[in-house]
Chains A and B, each alone.
Chain A
Amino acid sequence: AQSVTQPDIHITVSEGASLELRCNYSYGATPYLFWYVQSPGQGLQLLLKYFSGDTLVQGIKGFEAEFKRSQSSFNLRKPSVHWSDAAEYFCAVGVPTGTASKLTFGTGTRLQVTL
C-alpha cells in the first residue's frame, strides 16, 4: 500500500526567506502527487498536483514542487515566504488505478512565519 512521510512536523521561517517542505512517498510505480494547505479555520485547499510530464510543477500562491523519482520525493518550495503562508501543509498520494479520489495523506507540516 502507498504511504506518505512528512519528516518535519513544525517549521519556522522568517518572512521573505525561502521555504522547502519535504515529502517522501512509498509506492511501486509513479503515483499521483498533491500538496494541500489548510489555513486556520479553513478547509484543505489544493496547491498543486503532479500526474505526469514535467517534474517541476507550478501551483497557486507562488508555490512549486519537484517530483524526483530516484528519491521518491515531492518537495514543496517557495522562494520568498509571506506571513499569510502560515498554515498546515499536507502532501498526499493517489494511486492511478483508483477510480475515487482516495488520497493517502501525510501527517502534515505546520509552518510558522516570523516577521
Chain B
Amino acid sequence: EPEVTQTPSHQVTQMGQEVILRCVPISNHLYFYWYRQILGQKVEFLVSFYNNEISEKSEIFDDQFSVERPDGSNFTLKIRSTKLEDSAMYFCASSGRRGYSGELFFGEGSRLTVL
C-alpha cells in the first residue's frame, strides 16, 4: 500500500540552526500539507501546497518557515532559524483530491527537538 514517508524520524538541533524536514508523498497525489504537534497539544495545520505554490497557511507559518517541492518526489519544510518553541512532531500529508473530498494520508512524523 502506498504511503507517505518522512525523514528524519528524529532530529536534534541547536537554537538558531536551520532545519529541513523531508517528505515523500504518495506518488500520484497533488496536494501536500504540513501539520505539527507540540508535545501534549493539538495537531495544528501549518501549510498546504498545490501546483508548486502555497495554497493556504496558518498564522504559525511565519517567515521562518518555507516549503518547496524541489523535484518530482520530495516535499520539504525548512525552518530557517529554529527556536525552542519549534520543538514538535511535524507531520507531512498528501491527498489526491482537493479539499475535504480527498482523504489525507499522513506520514509517521519527524520529531524535532531544539536545544
Contacts and interface: CB of A to CB of B under 8 A. Distances in A.
Give chain A's interface residue range (CB within 8 Å of chain B).
Answer: 20 to 34
Contact of B56 (A4, A44, A102): A102
A98 B42 CA distance: 20
Instruction: Name, among A43, A45, A101, A107, the residue most crowded by chain B CB atoms within 10 Å (CB to CB).
Output: A101
A106 B42 contact: yes
Nearest to A103: B45
Give chain B's interface residue range (CB within 8 Å of chain A).
Answer: 20 to 34
Contact of A98 (B31, B40, B93, B99): B99
A105 B55 contact: no
B44 A105 contact: yes
Contacts of A83: none
Given A42-B108, A44-B106, A46-B103, A101 B42 contact: no
B72 to A, nearest CB: 21
B87 interface: no
B47 to A, nearest CB: 9
Interface of B: 3-4, 31, 33, 35, 40-45, 48, 55-56, 58, 91, 93, 95, 98-100, 102-109
Interface of A: 4, 32, 36, 41-46, 49, 51, 90, 92, 94, 96, 98-108
